[in-house]
Structure formats: C-alpha cells, structure tokens
Homo-oligomer: A and B are copies of this chain.
Amino acid sequence: MRRLATRTVLFHQAAAQSLGLFPTDLKSADLLNELGPLTAGELSEKTGLSSGAVTALIDRLEKAGYAKREKDPKDKRRVIIVPLTAGKSQVKQLFLSLSASTKKLTNEYKPEELDLIIQFISQTADIMDQELQLLKSKS
C-alpha cells in the first residue's frame, strides 16, 4: 500500500506539473467532477486545505479552465465552484496510458476476484477520507 501511495503521489505530481498545475489542483478538479459543484467552504473541508489555500487553488483552476465560480442557482448569495469539461480531454490524454495498463491488468483477474479487490480499494478510500478529516481536525 505504501509503495502504491508513493507512486500515486509521484505520478500525480508529474502529471499536474505537465499541465502547469499543482497535484492538489488536479485532484481537486477530480473531486469536483466526482462530487459536482461545491462551495469554497465545502472544497476546503473535502480537501483538507485551508480556506486561503482553497481561494488560490480556485483561482488557478479558473485560470487553467478546469472550473469556474458561479452563483448558486438555488441560492444567489452562495458562490459555487463548477467543474468544466473544457480542458478535460487534456487530462484524459494524460491518464490514457495509465487507464489502458490498468484495464489490461484487470483483464487478468476473474470477476469475483475483481469484486473483492474493488471492495477493498473502496474501503481503503473511505479510510483515507476519515483519516484526512482526522488529520485536519488536529491541525
């Protein structure tokens, strides 16, 4: 797990760098795509970044065309950060080879084996989410 975590961090660092972004920027854009529009406060909570860091991050994402600030149609006093599909193809391109290699690997496993692996990985992601909140609450 630790070997994988190291490679994950390094790969995303290199990928973000090639897009002129910080690794957290790339993953925050990913988080927006995963969860849909969020307010800056919600993004701060989910990423564990300070509100100042999140403001700078949103500025960079807007500048790079990965997200934009919009008034919440449900509540005009709220500003939400909307993920943009523009620029996504560039990101997809970057992860294309990784996706292909991972797909090739998963083809070597039986469906019931993959079910087990997906369950474990999903549980690990839940743990990381909890640990991130824990880490944030301590700082």
The residues of A with any CB-CB pair to B shorter than 8 Å are 1-15, 17-18, 23-24, 26-27, 30-31, 34, 46-49, 94, 97-98, 101-102, 105, 109, 113, 116-117, 120-125, 127-132, 134-136, 138-139
Contacts and interface: CB of A to CB of B under 8 A. Distances in A.
21 contacts: A1-B102, A1-B121, A2-B30, A3-B121, A4-B8, A4-B128, A6-B27, A7-B128, A8-B9, A9-B9, A10-B24, A10-B47, A10-B132, A13-B49, A14-B49, A14-B139, A18-B138, A97-B131, A101-B127, A105-B120, A105-B123
A13 B24 contact: yes
Given A24-B13, A27-B9, A129-B7, A124 B102 contact: yes
